Amino acid sequence: MKRGKTTAEPAPPVSLFLFGAHGDLVKRLLMPAIYNLARDGLLDPNLHIVGVDHNEVSDAEFASRLKAFILEQAKAKTPDVPGDQVIDPAVWDPLAQRISYVTGDFTSDDTYQTLALKLQANNTANAVFYLATSPRFFTEVSQRLNRAGLLYEQPNAYRRVVVEKPFGSDLATAQTLNAKLLEVMTERQIYRIDHYLGKETVQNIMVNRFSNGIFEAFWNNHYIDHVQITAAESVGVETRGSFYDQVGALRDMVPNHLFQLLAMVAMEPPAAFGADAVRGEKAKVVGAIRAWTKEEALANSVRAQYVSGTDGKPGYREEPRVDPQSQTETYVALKVMIDNWRWMGVPFYLRTGKRLSVRDTEIAICFKPAPYAQFRDTSVDYIKPNFLHMQIQPDEGMYFDLQAKRPGPALVIDNVKLGFAYKDFFQMQPSTGYETLLYDCFTGDQTLFQRADNIENGWRAVQPFLDAWAEHDTVSEYPAGSDGPADADELLARDGRAWHSLG
């Protein structure tokens, strides 16, 4: 989604330094995304990719490993494509010639002197430093880049740093990290990335809202009863046990992914479709989330952990590298309120969890019921509410639930869907969700990246839940493969509402 353009031009030449080059993020997501951008003609021929990590490998071996992982991912997504056609040599071979590798310690200034020489040899004025590392290195790497002069910009030479989540573990640590980064660079050099914002259907939320006049008239508390935002995963923690056990579902998903979806649904129309205006409105709406007291936070939240289900797969505490006594939540459901003119009185219900029945990320907007006194003398005693569904993944699309009379002499009302699936209207190339974000970073568009105030507002909104749970460190349970804990159903039931079915 390019601002003000119908076609995208190739990004300028740049050296992309990938810190943590042997990690899963680089192999599974970033390099496939770079290949896809090259395939689509969106990269300059003078793009250079430099892996940085402590392992000792040659340039050729590093490029060969990356190609193997791209092949693996591509085959999984396009199983019907013959193996020799998954990667186009005309795309890969020129790209591979510009892949190199630096063996180095992130905590040694010698590494950064080597990177400075590499940048000079690449003959590219622009540089992007992608921190695909453990969060403990974010400040360390940034400060050493600055000491080596690698963050110094000139009129025709930009320097940008991409920071992955988790961006802090609570409000205090997020504020400290922001302050440390801003000591050595400006806000416009920092690209805090959230891969959810790279998904086409997420970007399309703003297009749906602000380019279709029919929506804005009823996009407020006069017509909307409540909003549900769901990010359900059918997988468990897999190989991430040691990391996840220190983080949990709330920190992993809510202040970033789910609040970004909330912001796109609830933000005011920006004055212009540019980075500052869009990010300003998103920060405002996240900043307007009501701060619960500890007691209110407990009453308006559910935290739970999956246990072994009927499929025989292990419960969370039996997963590799997880504490057998762990109280870390793998599921969280929250009720939040936005205290502004548009949304006063409209609850936003958020839920996310692992090892649920299906993989399902969606936004469900429930409208207030229509008057139904005219059906008083018929068999119709209840009319389902109208929902607008924005399906993020899988089967991306948008659907509106309507009520219609079933054919026949009796008055029987059925729920029908009006909508579309993206795959039926657009040719959608396989993607990782990082393509747009990388391209925007190369071209200097920060619209889809989080600003410091947005990050801190998100942590400010979840801090009461963290504080309350710290004093009541117990989790409920739900069977793996289910729709979640009964407590989550009760959270809505006491408001006279119910979750939209998963899937």
Place of tokens 């220190």: 246
Sheet arrangement for strand 99-103: 99-103, 48-53, 15-19, 127-131, 159-163, 190-192
226 is catalytic: no
Phi-psi domain of 53 (left: phi exceeds 0; alpha: psi -120 through 50; beta: other): beta
Annotated binding-site residue? 195: yes
Determine whether the annotation assigns residue 199 to a binding site.
Answer: yes
Q: What is the DSSP letter of 289?
A: B
Residue 233 assigned as binding residue: yes
In Å, what is the CA distance from 321 to each residue of 46, 242, 379? 42, 5, 57
**225 marked among binding-site residues:** no
Sort 498 into a burial class: Cβ within 10 Å, 0-12 / 13-18 / 19+.
Answer: exposed
Neighbours of 28 (CB within 10 A): 16
93 annotated as a binding-site residue: no
Annotated binding-site residue? 165: yes
- 252 assigned ligand-binding residue: yes
Rounded CA-CA distance 491/499 in Å is 10
Q: What are the strands of the beta sheet with 476-479, ordered from one edge?
A: 413-421, 397-405, 387-393, 360-367, 224-232, 347-353, 331-337, 301-307, 476-479
CA 17/CA 101 separation, integer angstroms: 9
Distance in Å from the first CA to the final CA of the chain: 27
**Residue 375 annotated as binding site:** no
The active-site residue out of 22, 222, 226, 257 is: 257
- What is the sign, positive or negative, of the torsion defined by CA atoms of 380, 385, 388, 393? negative
Q: How far is CA 322 from CA 176, 182, 250, 374, 466, in A?
A: 28, 35, 17, 58, 20
Annotated binding site for substrate, which residues? 195, 199, 233, 252, 354
Enumerate the active-site residues. Answer: 257
Annotated binding site, which residues? 105-106, 165, 195, 199, 233, 252, 354
Annotated binding site for NADP(+), which residues? 105-106, 165
